Amino acid sequence: MQRDPARVARILGRGFFAATIIETALGVVLGSVLDPIVEGSMAALLVGILLIVGVLNVAMSLALLLPSMARAGSPAPGMASTGYSFADAPAVYGLVSAIMTGEGLVAIPFGVVALVSWYLTKSFLSTVSEQKPEEFPRL
């Protein structure tokens, strides 16, 4: 039985969207009830570094990785799983930051970055499905 690649990509998108929401909520809850592992300026440094890494991770994925996969003719499920994995990474970093700092609200900005990244990835994948490979810009 053949599966429709576009349908698989949509299912992956929904799954990663749900995972992002769950990770962010889990970060808020666990960060609020657990004792901090790092405190003070080290906690601020940890959160700042992970936020920068999360944003750069997503930017590199959207600017370099996904366009090169599209030009190479990668199947939609492969591009979807790669793109949504990179988009979900900031939510994971937020979960880790909230647990490490004992501050549940720290997870919210990470979750917002992850949701914006999810939307941008979804938009890119829908644009790719409508274009021919020769229409992609070259770097």
- Does the pLDDT of residue 3 top 80, yes or no? no
- In angstroms, the CA 94 to CA 20 distance is 10
- In angstroms, the CA 129 to CA 108 distance is 31
What does pTM read for this prediction? 0.86
* b (16+ CB within 10 A) / e for 33-70: eeeeeeeeeebeebbeebbeebbebbeebbeeebbebb
The answer to which of 2-11, 15-24, 83-92, 116-125 has the lowest mean pLDDT is: 2-11
CB 16 within 8 A of CB 84: yes
pLDDT in the model for residue 139: 46
7-59 residue pLDDT tens: 888 899 999 999 999 999 999 999 999 999 998 999 999 999 999 999 999 99
